[in-house]
Homo-oligomer: A and B are copies of this chain.
Amino acid sequence: MKKTCRVEFLPFLSRRDYARGTNLLDALREIGLPLKSTCGGKGTCGECLVRIQKGKAASRASSRLPEDVRRRGYVLACQTEIETDLIVELPRFEEQSVRALVSSRFFEAHPDQTSGVFEISPAVRKLRLSLPAPSLADNSSDLRRVQRQIQKSSDLRCREAGHHVLRRLAAAVRKQEGQVTAVLSRSGSEWRLVDLQPFPPPQNIYGLACDLGTTTVVTALVDLEDGKILSTTSGLNQQLRCGEDVISRIDYARKPGRLLELQRLAARTVNSLLEKACREAGVSSADIHDVSLAANTTMTHLLLGLDPRTIREEPYIPTVNTVPAVRAVDLGLDLNPEALVHCAPAVGSYVGGDITAGLLATPILSAEDGTSLFIDAGTNGELVIGNRDWLAACACSAGPAFEGGGTKCGLPAIEGAIEAVTLRENGRLEYRVIGGGKPKGVCGSGLVDLLAELFVHGLIDRAGKLNESKAGKRFVRGEDGAGFLIEKDSRCYWGRDLVISEKDITNLIRTKGAVYSACAVLMKNIGLDLNRLDAVYIAGGFGEHLNIENAVRIGLLPDLERKRFRYLGNTSLTGAYLGLLSEKNRALVETIAAKMTYLELNAEPGYMNEYTGSLFFPHTDIGLFPTVKKILEP
């Protein structure tokens, strides 16, 4: 029998030899291919599903792998050992861009109303220089002549020069009779020469805004001269294979070598999005001179290669909140080697740079008066309440249920995901699929709709239990227990039936309950009645649109006048983008971080009660949701 087996992975076309008996998940990790796995190889999360197209593999049975799925060649990679040459088909998540997370619709529509300003004053500048020819009479060095001209043509103090630009300096200043474009980057109170280009430069100067989320990562390639976004790309965080939420990533990082692995996966994720963005925009990555990054505290630590352990251990102290600027090259990012990465500052372990930067994309600090609430329901849920004078924040472990994680039917807002659902009176279920065609799963906004429709039509009760008789033919019972059949003829990885199970619903209740109860406790702590809120801004990975009415009906959002709500989409990316545009915005984020008080929910005595009370549709105390009560009891 052969000792070495050749395994080919589709659709990546990677091919490699492994010893017979190699675990298939290990083989995938070794080759660096992306695959979700939450449980870390125990066979319990069921997410490392792959299909053996050709060849033989020894696979242990798993309760997470239904027999019919198994018959079609599917196995859990973590439970499978290579026996012969194989062709293995992987799910196509990572290839795809994540839709509708790209930018804040609100900012696009109202750039003048956000806390951050739309003003082009970036930390990178370019200057046209006309250098006098070197001569025996003036034997100043090349660098000195460049510095002199910078001083002449601007008021920028520039004494430092990047090592990489020095290496090209002699050649650059001798072309085109000394007509050059100097690129300067601010470093503290000084400017630093980071590039020399011909004049006129073949390209503008560019920056990269990046929202490095636990689940999804989005980048925007920005022209720093007019602020235009040239290209946005998005995809799943390649760290997903190491765990789905920040806690499992932190645990994953504990073993030797894994922090480095996570660091590289983060860099690789950004690099692949970056490469795509550059290709789309026709920009060379060497012309990207600044990076503005917004991420939660754990993601920031992992990208920087900092040990995240202390983030999850009491008293929950991160290594850094305000991160010194780091050279892109030191993080393995493929940009101009002198480019600096500016991370938005965190407030603490669970309120990170995604929130402080995200506030730039809300009107909270620019509103004339009143008090607003900001909810960012990503993989972690963060809430901020306040106005231009004060800010208070808390975080809750919402889980990634509304971003497509932690549930079997869930998907991020990618092509093939159901993004909106309506249940007609006649029992007909209508839905809209991103990109059209057969559905593969349901994204956050679709899940909110689905739950609300099932709930208000009585197909699920207030605890999330399915009503078999009301669901009728759509009631199914499978490996995961009772479920509601969304679509028989689907493209989901589990088979042809796309089902939301009671287990999935329980998970979603927990998530929405975590957000609502955090909101209630935060308000109580501030001593403010919910009705006193002038505005509620919602951000997160729900998708392009979020049906506020439905979000209230399931008890995710408080029952306030609907016009006070605004769904902002991805505020984190917009915040990163605004930081890139203007140093004024970066300064404002620093102020935001310094001003914000952090409330540790776990230390709040009333929190567990509030949380338990929220584990119903819409809440144990239906009096808190008068409009929902009215619908239920007409």
A319–B163 contact, CB under 8 A?
no
Q: Assembly of this chain: how many copies?
A: 2
**Which listed segment binds B: A164-172, A450-458, A502-510, A566-574?**
A164-172
Docked pose: A324 CA to B144 CA in angstroms: 11
Docked pose: A322 CA to B160 CA in angstroms: 10
**Which listed segment binds B: A74-82, A119-127, A132-140?**
A132-140
A169–B317 contact, CB under 8 A?
no
Residues of B within 8 A of A319 (CB): 141-143, 166, 169-170
Task: Provide the A237-257 mask, 1 if CB < 8 A to any CB of B, else 0.
Answer: 000000000000000000000
Q: Does A631 lie at the interface of the complex (its beta carbon under 8 Å from any beta carbon of B)? A: no
Q: Does A95 lie at the interface of the complex (its beta carbon under 8 Å from any beta carbon of B)? A: no
CB within 8 A of A170: which of B142, B171, B310?
Answer: B310
CB within 8 A of A320: which of B142, B306, B322?
Answer: B142
Q: Does A493 lie at the interface of the complex (its beta carbon under 8 Å from any beta carbon of B)? A: no
**8 Å CB interface, A287-346 against B:** 304-307, 309-310, 314-322, 324, 326-327, 330, 346
Docked pose: A315 CA to B307 CA in angstroms: 53
CB within 8 A of A188: which of B188, B322, B598?
Answer: B188
Docked pose: A160 CA to B330 CA in angstroms: 16
CB within 8 A of A321: which of B140, B169, B318, B346?
Answer: B140
**8 Å CB interface, A577-607 against B:** 598, 600, 603
Task: Provide the A155-167 mask, 1 if CB < 8 A to any CB of B, else 0.
Answer: 0000111010011
Docked pose: A169 CA to B135 CA in angstroms: 51
Residues of B within 8 A of A317 (CB): 134, 139-142
Residues of B within 8 A of A315 (CB): 134-136, 139
Residues of B within 8 A of A163 (CB): 304, 324, 326-327, 330
Q: Does A174 lie at the interface of the complex (its beta carbon under 8 Å from any beta carbon of B)? A: yes
A139–B310 contact, CB under 8 A?
no
CB within 8 A of A304: which of B159, B160, B166, B305?
Answer: B166
Q: Does A363 lie at the interface of the complex (its beta carbon under 8 Å from any beta carbon of B)? A: no
Q: List 26 A-B contacts (CB under 8 A).
A: A134-B310, A136-B316, A136-B600, A136-B603, A139-B315, A139-B317, A140-B317, A140-B321, A141-B317, A141-B318, A141-B320, A142-B319, A143-B319, A143-B322, A159-B188, A159-B324, A160-B324, A163-B324, A163-B330, A166-B304, A166-B306, A166-B319, A169-B306, A169-B320, A170-B310, A174-B310
Known contacts A134-B317, A142-B320, A167-B306; 15 additional CB pairs below 8 A are: A136-B603, A139-B315, A141-B321, A141-B322, A142-B310, A142-B318, A143-B319, A143-B321, A143-B322, A144-B321, A160-B188, A163-B304, A163-B324, A171-B307, A188-B188
